[in-house]
Amino acid sequence: MRDYRLIVNGELVESVSGNRFNVINPATSEVIGSVPDGVPEDAVSALQAAERAFPGWAALPPTVRADYMHKSAELIRARKRDIAVTLTMEQGKPLRDAEKEVQDAAAAIDFFADEGIRIRGEVIPTGVTSALSIVVKQPIGVCVAITPWNYPVSLLAWKVGPALAAGCSIVAKPASETPLSSIEFVRCFLDAGVPKGVINIVTGSGGKIGRELVQNPITKKVALTGSTLVGKCVASLAGEHLKKVSLELGGHSPFIVFGDADLKSAVAEGVRRSFRNMGQICNAVNRILVHESIADEFIDMFVEGTKNMTIGNGLNNPDVDLGPMVNEEGIKRTMTHIQDALDRGARLLCGGRKPAGKEFERGFFLKPAVLVDVPRDSIIMQEETFGPAVAIVKFESLDEAIHLANATQYGLVAYAYTQDIETIITLVNMLDFGTVCINNTVAASVQAPYGGWKESGVGVELSHHAMDEYLHIKHVRIQG
Ligand code: NAD
């Protein structure tokens, strides 16, 4: 049993409520630990600690902040195995994937430590020789990071990195399914000597403690990764005080395969992007649009690739492709999407049921599902499944593919496979998505901006662009 505490003002503390809630291993349904069930008073204490710490942290030379951050990243790497084991036990992803997530989180902290040193202003010609216009960038103040359960460590790093590098202090609130690895991650900053109050973490229900963190006047910026529904709620709460927000929300990624595509690579990458982390990724493929000329061959290869994926408890078998889903609710939602498509005339070519065997009995396991002949008004063609099910539909022309791809409220990531340069240029110009991947599926890398269009979000994470989400711009006009 792992019993964790809140981290407020550099101290490990219980909630004033005195209550705790359990964390479950989705592979076995066993309780693996507990955390304090925080209440709004805990959120206020954490915000006040961050408010006290802010001026001192902001006043440090960026190189000194970078030193603290690099030291924290080193500790994250040193504890990689331990944090990854916790992550696998609470989230379900195989240990190999969990280790990669922790490694990537440390790399993000290193990247942003150095971006903090490179914050630059501007000198702007004013049109008169006696005056100078200068633009300076300053940290925005106390920030709040609210994270989901699918990538609890890396998505926290994507917020803590630019916030601390910019000179902001921060209060984190992880999802209630996966708070343990986030607390272990924050602990590394504490142990690296980051001054008390600069980084805090509180646990508890989003509707109570999350709401307080967003609404409290101490908070100057909110960074949320979560569902579009919660994103809209957070945006309207933050709007009451016109706080800055960045929102990384839901997606419904199309994967377009043209007649001239390298089929082997399209199938291998398509299978991985559809089902990795059990499809519980904002940029998971939900719909595959395949040109009719190669559809039959593609579908055969895709189904074979899907059936070859291994599934199991990723703690005992670190190299399996897939673990369990995070909870029963995910299985129910995925099965609803599958059943709705079947009711409308689609065919299920594989998966969509629990794997047989004793080891799967108590966990939230589901075999990855491939649907074909899916009517375009099916739920799976419109709503984020966030589970291991993908719909394959055929198209006849480039225009039809683009129209189908864009026919969604979401605009996070689109993928396409083709060798034709004119098709590529048209896709780049016409796809309404924040990220477009051609002949690859690497949607998020620390050097490049990642953000959603339409109802997939506001603002960006990663890259030097993310720094601006944590900085105020100030224009200084000096008259000689
Ligand atoms: P969720 O929206 O249910 O919860 C996200 C976080 O918000 C949790 O910490 C939750 O406690 C908190 N929260 C809930 N209600 C709140 C409120 N009223 N005020 C403040 N905080 C509140 O999402 P989830 O189920 O944890 O994660 C899955 C969702 O996240 C999917 O929709 C997925 O697409 C999205 N996601 C997006 C990205 C991206 O980069 N765009 C990445 C990963 C996940």
pLDDT tens sequence for the chain (480 residues): 788 999 999 999 999 999 999 999 999 999 999 999 999 999 999 999 999 999 999 999 999 999 999 999 999 999 999 999 999 999 999 999 999 999 999 999 999 999 999 999 999 999 899 999 999 999 999 999 999 999 999 999 999 999 999 999 999 999 999 999 999 999 999 999 999 999 999 999 999 999 999 999 999 999 999 999 999 999 999 999 999 999 999 999 999 999 999 999 999 999 999 999 999 999 999 999 999 999 999 999 999 999 999 999 999 998 999 999 999 999 999 999 999 999 999 999 999 999 999 999 999 999 999 999 999 999 999 999 999 999 999 999 999 999 999 999 999 999 999 999 999 999 999 999 999 999 999 999 999 999 999 999 999 999 999 999 999 999 999 998
Residue showing tokens 């006009």:
477
CA distance 197 to 171: 9
Q: Which residue lies with its CA nearest to atom 31 of ligand 1? A: 227
Distances (CA, A) of 131 to 469, 473, 478: 29, 19, 5
pTM (predicted TM-score): 0.97
188 catalytically annotated: no
2-3 and 31-36 beta bridge pairing: parallel
CA distance 111 to 117: 10
CA distance 379 to 371: 12
Residues 6+ apart with CB under 8 A from 147: 155, 156, 159, 172, 173, 174, 175, 182, 224, 225, 226
Looking at this protein, which amino acid is placed at residue 27? A
Q: Which residue lies with its CA nearest to atom 1 of ligand 1? A: 226
What's the token pair of residue 345? Answer: 């005339």
Residue showing tokens 């065919």:
347
> Residues lining ligand 1, judged by CB closer than 6 Å?
146-151, 155, 173, 175-176, 206-207, 210-211, 214, 225-227, 230, 233-234, 248-251, 282, 384, 386, 412, 452, 457
What's the token pair of residue 254? Answer: 């199309």
389-395 and 369-372 beta bridge pairing: parallel
Cα of 231 to ligand 1 centre, how many Å? 7
